[in-house]
Amino acid sequence: MEQTIAVLGAGTMGHGIAQLLAQSGSRVYLYDPSEEALERAMQKIRSNVAVIRSERWGDCPSEDQVLDRIVCTPDPVEAVAGASIVIEAAPEKLELKRELYRLIERGIRADAIVASNTSSYVPEQLVEGMTFAHRFVVAHFFNPAHLVPLVEIVLHPQTSRQTAEPLIRLLKTCGKSPVVLSANVAGFIANRLQAALLREAVHLLESGVASAREIDLAVTEGPGLRWALSGPLATADYGGLDVWERVSDRLFPELDTRTEASESIRRLVRGQRLGVKSGGGFFEYPDGEANGATHGLPDGVQDAVEQRDRKLIRLMMVKNDTRTGGGAQ
């Protein structure tokens, strides 16, 4: 049955979430205070869908069919009025998010589930004192949201698993893999693991053990490949836990334990080397020069993003053995 969903914020994450839901048959109301952001979102959705279709990934409807299911609006109250699920993907500023919730509080359906795509705030902080706190979760998608299957779900202490079930079901219908946390921790699961790996990678770089390229290759040509199939715990099972017991005893004292960003990242940031979006970071991205925005990437970077998306799709098709089509993932 067609559901009506509201997505609040049409930036990097919001447009991908809106696309994902529309692709799977929902009617989506997409709110953004910026008309330009809404226009850009619709253009990006059109090209994202074209990529998925040209890669023959699942049974994706046509560009026009997907866009026809999305209603853009500059009015948040209109966006949420008929929605059974509201997904907020507004900028990561606590007061801005809370102000948005206050705006929609009286307009949302009494049974609507409200989810935030926040990367860092806990549910209690976001909706303290709001009437829908007992129907609130964090639903943390990963960029690109229309492709990466993982969505981490963190329940507000007043929200039961049963209440969140329609959202979890919807995500599964869209081909996502929701992971529900049993306790609320900063960074949830995936970003904690990524941060631990980044800390050690930068430590190796700073210690002169290898170049940035060699360090990245050691991941993409090694454990990174395996991690798509078995996570760190299953990987330890395969290696043998007796082996990992000894490795842990020997290696853990050697690993980096710093408690703040490394000096080399600080130096790069001070020098405006912010990564792909500024033309360089640990590596060079000449086509990204002079671009300071988080979206609206210049052509060269846009091409690189499209190539990355195509490779991600092909990887997922091989991983899930859906190369011959049939099923979203």
Ligand X SMILES: NC(=O)c1ccc[n+]([C@@H]2O[C@H](COP(=O)([O-])OP(=O)(O)OC[C@H]3O[C@@H](n4cnc5c(N)ncnc54)[C@H](O)[C@@H]3O)[C@@H](O)[C@H]2O)c1
Any binding-site annotation on 275? no
Q: Is 90 near ligand X (CB under 6 A)?
A: yes
Question: Minimum distance between the CB of residue 146 and ligand X, rounded to whole angstroms?
Answer: 12
Question: Minimum distance between the CB of residue 143 and ligand X, rounded to whole angstroms?
Answer: 3
Which 30-49 positions form the footprint of ligand X (CB under 6 A)?
32-34, 37
Question: Measured from the CB atom, is 17 or 203 closer to ligand X?
Answer: 17
Any binding-site annotation on 26? no
Which 262-301 positions form the footprint of ligand X (CB under 6 A)?
294-295
Question: Minimum distance between the CB of residue 98 and ligand X, rounded to whole angstroms?
Answer: 10
Q: Is 151 near ligand X (CB under 6 A)?
A: no
Where would I find the beta strands (DSSP E) of the chain? 4-8, 27-31, 70-73, 85-88, 113-116, 136-141, 150-155, 177-180
Question: Minimum distance between the CB of residue 75 and ligand X, rounded to whole angstroms?
Answer: 11
Binding-site member from 4, 7, 14, 127 for ligand X (CB under 6 A): 14
> 3-state class of 144 per DSSP?
coil
| Catalytically annotated residues | 152
Cα of first residue to Cα of last residue in the chain, in angstroms, is 20
Rounded CA separation 129/76 (Å): 20
Rounded CA separation 282/301 (Å): 16
Q: Are 29 and 7 in contact (CB under 8 A)?
A: yes
Q: Are 80 and 114 in contact (CB under 8 A)?
A: no
String of DSSP letters for 72-140 = EES-HHHHHTT-SEEEE---S-HHHHHHHHHHHHTTS-TT-EEEE--SS--HHHHHTT-TTGGGEEEEE
Any binding-site annotation on 176? no
Any binding-site annotation on 128? no
Q: Is 89 near ligand X (CB under 6 A)?
A: yes
Question: Measured from the CB atom, is 48 or 203 closer to ligand X?
Answer: 48
Contact region with ligand X (CB under 6 A), list: 52-60, 137-145, 164-172, 252-260: 137-145
Helix axes 299-320, 35-54, angle to 10 degrees: 50
Q: Is 143 near ligand X (CB under 6 A)?
A: yes
Any binding-site annotation on 326? no
Question: Minimum distance between the CB of residue 237 and ligand X, rounded to whole angstroms?
Answer: 29
Indicate the pairing of strand 150-155 with strand 136-141: antiparallel
Question: Measured from the CB atom, is 30 or 203 closer to ligand X?
Answer: 30
Question: Measured from the CB atom, is 24 or 117 closer to ligand X?
Answer: 117
Q: Is 205 near ligand X (CB under 6 A)?
A: no
Would you tell me how many other CB atoms lie within 10 Å of the CB of residue 327? 11
Any binding-site annotation on 11? yes
Which residue, 138, 128, 79, is CA-closest to 104? 79
Output the residue with the shortest Cβ distance to ligand X.
Answer: 11
Residues at the binding site for NAD(+) are: 9-14, 32, 92, 97, 119, 143, 277
Q: Which residues bind ligand X (CB under 6 A)?
A: 8-14, 32-34, 37, 89-92, 96, 100, 117-119, 140-141, 143, 294-295
